[in-house]
Amino acid sequence: LQTRLQAGQGYGNTLNCVLTVYRNESVAGFFKGMSFPLASIAVYSSVVFGVFSNTQRLLSQLRHGDPTGTPALADMALASVVAGFVSVGIGNPVDLVKIRLQMQTQPYVKANTKAKATVPGFPVYRGPIHCFRTVLQKEGLAGIYRGAGAMLLRDVPGYCLYFIPYALFCEWITPDGCLSPNPSSIWLAGGVAGAISWATATPMDVVKSRLQADGVYLNKYKGTLDCILQSYQKEGLKVFFRGITVNTVRGFPVSSAMFLGYELSLKAMKRDQTETIP
């Protein structure tokens, strides 16, 4: 739904998008392009969380001589920035394949651009591997990383507004005297952080989705700035908030589960290490 609302044509709102997709493509339409993200989400999440926590530990070591010390707000911000940069290297190709597969049967609005030979409305790619190989062969590495600039502008501030609100909210709702937050606090703090992060990241998410969807049949946008200007000129400021409801609603449960799994896994590994020490 998010991709269709942000880069598609003819969807008035979220409910209309749901009904249109179901009517035209049945239930299977809601799961298009999901195999590649599902296969890579574990690696992606572990790398992002690992980079964030290890950068934080390194900064604490350099600043205070103790990697386990409570990180300063500046340390969390810098670690979030590093995690945002790393996330683009892994996540951009995955997002591009997902969006191309989701958008390849969508009609497009005619523009003063040169269309490709493929007829709109008919699938271009047979699956995620075929999509990745085709884009790489025709557009090279630059094609695989199309929209990377917009993704950087989304993820760098997005992760700052992901990890920092989580840490602050966790600290706020954890009772005094507790060494660590309980699972319900982690779940709630993670959900709030995810909703905040995705809501504020939506404008650049719209730009990224449009850049990555561009290229299936047409090449309308020359880059991030051109996409922003064209979108604003044709549809106004409201275009940058397309899909914000879906992003915010999705962000809460996904981030709750992500942070809860991360924190419980860390606790389990620390407990196992303690038990094995002679």
Answer yes or no: do 156 and 138 share one domain: no
Give dist(CA 95, CA 135) in Å, integer. Answer: 13
Among the listed ranges 21-35, 47-61, 104-118, which one has the minimum average pLDDT value?
104-118
Name which of 23-32, 56-65, 232-241 the model is least confident about.
23-32
Residues 156 and 65 in one domain: no
Its domain, for residue 249, covers 147-277
Residue 204 — very low, low, confident or very high, per pLDDT cuts 50/70/90?
A: very high
Q: Of 145, 167, 189, at which residue does a domain stop?
A: 145
Residues 85 and 202 occupy one common structural domain: no
Residue 156 and residue 80 share a domain:
no
Task: Name the domain count of the chain.
Answer: 2
Q: 28-37, 61-70, 119-128, 135-144 — which one is most confidently predicted on average?
A: 135-144
Query: Could you tell me if 151 and 138 lie in one domain?
Result: no
Same-domain check for residues 153 and 273:
yes
Quick check: helix, strand or coil at residue 169? helix
User: What's the mean pLDDT when you consider all of the chain?
Assistant: 82
Domain-located, residue 84: yes
Which comes out higher in pLDDT, residue 181 or 54?
54
Least confident of 31-40, 103-112, 229-238, 243-252: 103-112
Predicted pLDDT at 66 = 75
Do 154 and 218 lie in one domain? The reply is yes
What's the pLDDT at 61? 87
Pairwise pLDDT comparison (141 vs 16), residue with the higher score = 141
Max CA separation in the chain (angstroms) = 72
Residue where a domain stops, chosen among 110, 145, 180: 145
Rounded CA gap, 201 and 152, in Å? 11
Cα-based distances in Å from 233 to 44, 221, 226, 240, 242 = 35, 13, 10, 12, 15
- Residue 217 pLDDT: 61
Cβ contacts of residue 183 below 8 Å, gap of 6+? 260, 263, 264
The pLDDT score that the predictor gives to residue 31 is 63
**pLDDT band at residue 36 using 50, 70 and 90 as cut-offs:** low
Work out the percent of the chain whose per-residue pLDDT is above 90.
46
Average pLDDT over residues 62-76: 82
Distance of alpha carbon 242 from alpha carbon 2, whole angstroms: 8
Is residue 118's pLDDT more than 50? no
By the 8 A CB rule, do 209 and 99 touch? yes
Q: Do residues 140 and 155 share a domain?
A: no
The C-alpha atoms of residue 9 and residue 135 are separated, in whole angstroms, by 23
- Confidence band (pLDDT; 50, 70, 90) for 108? very low
- Sorted by sequence, the CB contacts under 8 Å of residue 197 that are 6+ apart come out as 158, 159, 161, 162, 165, 251, 255
Same domain, 214 and 107: no
Q: Cβ contacts of residue 207 below 8 Å, gap of 6+?
A: 147, 150, 153, 154, 224, 227, 228, 231, 240
Q: What was the pLDDT predicted at 106?
A: 54
**CATH number reported for the structural domain that contains residue 182 in this entry:** 1.50.40.10
Which range (4-13, 155-164, 250-259, 262-271) has the least confidence?
4-13
Q: Find out whether 20 and 11 touch, Cβ atoms under 8 Å.
A: yes
User: Do 272 and 191 share a structural domain?
Assistant: yes
Q: What pTM does this model have? A: 0.81
Does residue 111 register a pLDDT over 60? no
